[in-house]
Homo-oligomer: A and B are copies of this chain.
Amino acid sequence: MFTSIQREVNQFINRGLDRTLRIAVTGLSQSGKTAFITSLINQLINIDNVTNGHLPLFEAARQQRIVGVKRIPQINLNIPRFDYEANLNSLMASPPQWPQSTRGVSETRLAVRYHNSGLFSHIKEKSTLYLDIFDYPGEWLLDLPLLNLNYQQWSLEQQNLRQGLRAELAQTWLEKTKKLDLTAMADEDILAQIAKDYTAYLQACKEQGLHFIQPGRFVLPAELEGAPVLQFFPLLHLAEKDWKKLKEEAKPNSYFAILNQRYDYYKNKVVKGFYENYFVHFDRQLILADCLTPINHSRQAFQDMQEGLQQLFKNFHYGKRRLINRLFYPRIDKLMFIATKADHITSDQIPNLVSLMRQLVQDGGRHVAFEGIETGFTAIAAIRATKQVLVEQEGKTFKALQGIRSKDKRQVTVYPGSVPSRLPSIDFWQQQKFDFDQFEPQPLESGEIIPHLRMDSVLQFLLGDKLA
């Protein structure tokens, strides 16, 4: 009898200390999500309670309190598994390859077995922290603001974006849209055709390095490919009075009505679906961005990434006017923006990269404090592709990088130049071009831990408090 009660109390304590943390990883496209998660898993499962030299900044590992980390079966059987093995294999291939990027959501589950410290250690020696790691396209996160916008408001927002490169790329579908009699009875084939042109425009924006792509499913349709819910587009040429008139006059089967209906369906089913099935359940969110590639591209690409990151950031901004935030608040308690590919610059430039990231996200670098959300900014290399070397030239010593350059697959030693710590002015851009190289991964031996830069600082931010 006593043992039974004792067992129950023990189980109760165990359940209380064994915790689950749902971690979401996303990023603007090409930000290196797959490489990041592959490395995150690799760093963790290589922790033992003896030596953890690969993670000096991760306290629980340094203190040898982590007994071991294992991959275990995920809970959601209908979500694709994150294919860690395949990604690791591509790094161990000869020549090594960057892991293939995913096109939808994926999941992986880890069990972290650790020694309790402090007070808890007297009640229970060891606990398990379960990590559910979700990888999802940044485009899905970029869609969340739609929940606060009706079709007219969204069209207006899109209108404000139409400038420079976008205006150029938008021509074909804009012309067709203007010619459409919105009060006429809708012809599905014509809608499908214009939507195809609109989707091609979004794809072209993406290919040109622009990041603020809305609606995100248009470029990553998966099972919705060809469905009417992805066959609408914003109306950029209408003035306020046109909207008013159309709302009063357009019949239920008119182009105007059908476009409204499809927008609403997209918002209420697709976006809200992601929101309810995934987003509200996340405990912590990492947002990855490659800040170097858009600097190479153009001023517009850079500003577009800024727009994208700020839109992402707004989703976490607890403001009175934003119903959506009140709904999920305060489930997410930690949020980190991570500049990736920090091995593509020399170490002295890393503070600039972090500062730039913060500027990009926070619009002028204002520190925005959220009630209950701790926000971090860092720069890392999930899979380190270069070595830093010292080069002597004309009596002076420079830091330089050695690695296999992607564009010509040659081993090179380069000085990648400096990273601006603030948003460069227009003048600056006209005078100077950035040219940060891409590098191929280094050969990885079987059993070797993936070389990284500062992944331990991410682990400390993400897990430190939970393993205390």
Residues of A in contact with B (beta carbons under 8 Å apart): 71-74, 77-81, 83-85, 104, 106, 186, 188-189, 192, 222-229, 231, 253, 258, 261-262, 265, 269-270
Pairwise interchain contact B269-A85, C-beta atoms closer than 8 A: no
Q: Are A228 and B269 neighbours in the complex by a CB distance under 8 Å?
A: no
Question: Could you tell me the distance between the alpha carbons of A225 and B80 in the complex, rounded to whole angstroms?
Answer: 6
Question: Nearest CB to that of A262 among chain B residues?
Answer: B77
Residues of chain B contacted by A222 (CB below 8 angstroms)? 222-223
Given A186-B73, A192-B85, A78:B227 Cβ within 8 A: yes
Q: Provide the bound-state CA to CA distance between A265 and B71, in Å.
A: 21
| Closest Cβ–Cβ distance, residue A304 to chain B (whole Å) | 29
Tell me, in angstroms, the Cα distance from A229 to B83 when the chains sit together. 15
Given contacts A71-B188, A73-B188, A222-B222, contact A79 B258 (CB under 8 A): no
21 contacts between A and B (CB under 8 A): A71-B189, A72-B188, A73-B228, A73-B253, A73-B258, A77-B228, A77-B229, A77-B269, A78-B224, A78-B229, A78-B270, A80-B224, A80-B227, A81-B228, A81-B231, A83-B192, A83-B226, A85-B192, A222-B222, A222-B223, A223-B223
- State A128–B229 Cα separation when bound (angstroms): 26
Contacts of A78 in B (CB 8 A): 224, 227, 229, 265, 269-270
Min CB gap A196→B, angstroms: 10
**Smallest CB gap from A83: residue in B:** B226
Q: Which of A72, A222, A227, A265 has the most CB of B within 10 A?
A: A227
Decide if A227 touches B85 in the complex (CB within 8 Å): no
A71 — which chain B residues lie within 8 A by C-beta? 188-189
14 extra interface residue pairs, beta carbon distance < 8 Å, beyond A73-B186, A80-B224, A85-B192: A71-B188, A73-B188, A73-B228, A73-B253, A77-B229, A78-B224, A80-B226, A81-B192, A81-B226, A83-B192, A83-B226, A104-B223, A222-B222, A222-B223
CA distance A261 to B106 in the complex (A): 20
Cβ contacts under 8 Å, A83 to chain B:
192, 226
Residue of B whose beta carbon sits closest to that of A106: B226
A222 to B103, CA, bound (A): 12
A79 to chain B, nearest CB (A): 6
